[in-house]
Structure formats: structure tokens, C-alpha cells
Amino acid sequence: MYPKYVKVKDKKYKINTSYKVALKCNEIAENENINDIERALAIIYILFGEKALNDKENRNLLLEKAKKYLLCNQEPSKEENRDIDYKQDFPYIKASFMSDYHIDLNEKDMHYWEFNELLNGLSNSDIGNCCILNRVRNLRNFNLSDVKDLKEREKIRKAKESVALKKKKKVYQTNEQKESARDFYTNLYRKE
């Protein structure tokens, strides 16, 4: 059974369980153009709604619940080298769900945890029976030093380059922007 609510102290909040909502939250979490406070508030609002956003006393606990939910109750990955980006790879994800499960993600909505389980269960075999998403991920992780033939290595290098994950640009805040965010954060948690 997948979770539909989170409980914080004596309050219960309904989770917007659509995988599309969770993917949007992940996109917000990785967006370097949004400061930490805006990111946290956006995730709480999108995932749990306005009632949760207005619960100033429990925002930090709600954010912890959101993180746990978005990680599907698993420990965060320690991997340095990501090989998937939900937004960039969504066409591959859609095609893979269609080929492996006959699920049209344009037509079907599902709980995020179900989506994540199906994503992790996509076909991935060395002998050709592999969905497009996992072929791309395998190519991203392929070690070029394993290829001795220079022409073949160059061919694979170009293929890797064509499916490489885009680098995310870091945006740095000025001291004035940091101070403004600090003031906002302080006022946000002030008891009324």
C-alpha cells in the first residue's frame, strides 16, 4: 500500500501522490535558480497543499516528510555520477513504459512510488532485451577505456556525448539577496 497522507504531530496532510507532482518536486529541488527557502516552500505547497504551507510551526517537519516521500522511504543515493534526469530523459521514460508495460504515461496517472518501482524494473539486459532508457543509461556509464579499437572508441564517445546529461548552471546569490532571504525566512517562522 502506498502512502496517501503524512502525519506531523497531531495533524494529517493529504499527499498529492501523482508521479507528475513528484517529478515536478524533484525538478524544483534540483533547480539552482531557486533559493533554499523558495524551494522548500514550493515543495511543501505542491506536495501537501496550502493548509500545510500555512502550518508555519511544522514546516521543517513537513519538509522532512516530503524528502522521505520523494525518496520512496529509501536512503538517499551516495552516487556521485547521475545517469538519469527525469526532465531530460522523460521521452525515453515514456517510450520505455510503453514498450515494457504498455503504459501510456500521457494517458495514465499513478502513485509516485508505483511509478518509481516500474521505472526501476524496466528491462535491462546485456543481450539486447533492454528498454531505450536503460540503453541510454548504460551508454552514459560505459567505460571507454574498455574499448581498444580507436575507431570504435571514437564512435562510442560520440554516442555518449549525444545522450550526456546537460550540466546544470550554478547561480550564486549576492550578499544582498542572501540577507533578503534570511529576513524573509525569519519573518516566515515568526509566531503571530
Domain that holds residue 128: 90-163
Asked whether residue 156 is assigned to any structural domain, the reply reads: yes
Q: What is d(CA 82, CA 19) in angstroms, rounded to the nearest whole number? A: 20
| Residue matched to cell numbers 546544470 | 168
Asked whether residue 41 is assigned to any structural domain, the reply reads: yes
Asked whether residue 183 is assigned to any structural domain, the reply reads: no
- Is the same domain home to 99 and 155? yes
Which of the listed residues 76, 99, 121 is the one where a domain comes to its end?
A: 76
- Global pTM? 0.81
Of 12, 6, 18, the C-alpha closest to 111 is 18
- Show Cβ contacts of residue 64 under 8 Å, excluding neighbours closer than 6 positions: none
Asked whether residue 85 is assigned to any structural domain, the reply reads: no
Which pLDDT score, from 0 to 100, does residue 42 have? 96
- Is the same domain home to 67 and 99? no
| Cβ atoms 11, 56 nearer than 8 A | no
Q: What is d(CA 61, CA 26) in angstroms, rounded to the nearest whole number? A: 18
Asked whether residue 9 is assigned to any structural domain, the reply reads: yes
Which of the listed residues 54, 76, 98 is the one where a domain comes to its end?
A: 76
- Is the same domain home to 57 and 122? no
- Is the same domain home to 118 and 157? yes
Asked whether residue 158 is assigned to any structural domain, the reply reads: yes
- Is the same domain home to 108 and 158? yes
Q: What is d(CA 149, CA 155) in angstroms, rounded to the nearest whole number? A: 10
How confident is the prediction along the chain (192 residues), in pLDDT tens digits per residue?
899 999 999 999 999 999 999 999 999 998 888 889 999 999 999 999 999 999 999 999 999 999 999 999 998 877 667 899 999 999 999 999 999 999 999 999 999 999 999 999 999 876 568 999 999 999 999 999 999 999 999 999 999 999 999 876 555 556 665 565 555 555 554 544
Asked whether residue 120 is assigned to any structural domain, the reply reads: yes
Instruction: State how many domains the chain has.
Output: 2
- Is the same domain home to 94 and 139? yes
Helix (H, G, I), strand (E, B) or coil at 159: helix
Asked whether residue 49 is assigned to any structural domain, the reply reads: yes
Q: What is d(CA 47, CA 56) in angstroms, rounded to the nearest whole number? A: 16
Residues β-bridged to residue 8: 11
- Is the same domain home to 71 and 35? yes
Which pLDDT score, from 0 to 100, does residue 29 have? 92
| Cβ atoms 40, 89 nearer than 8 A | no
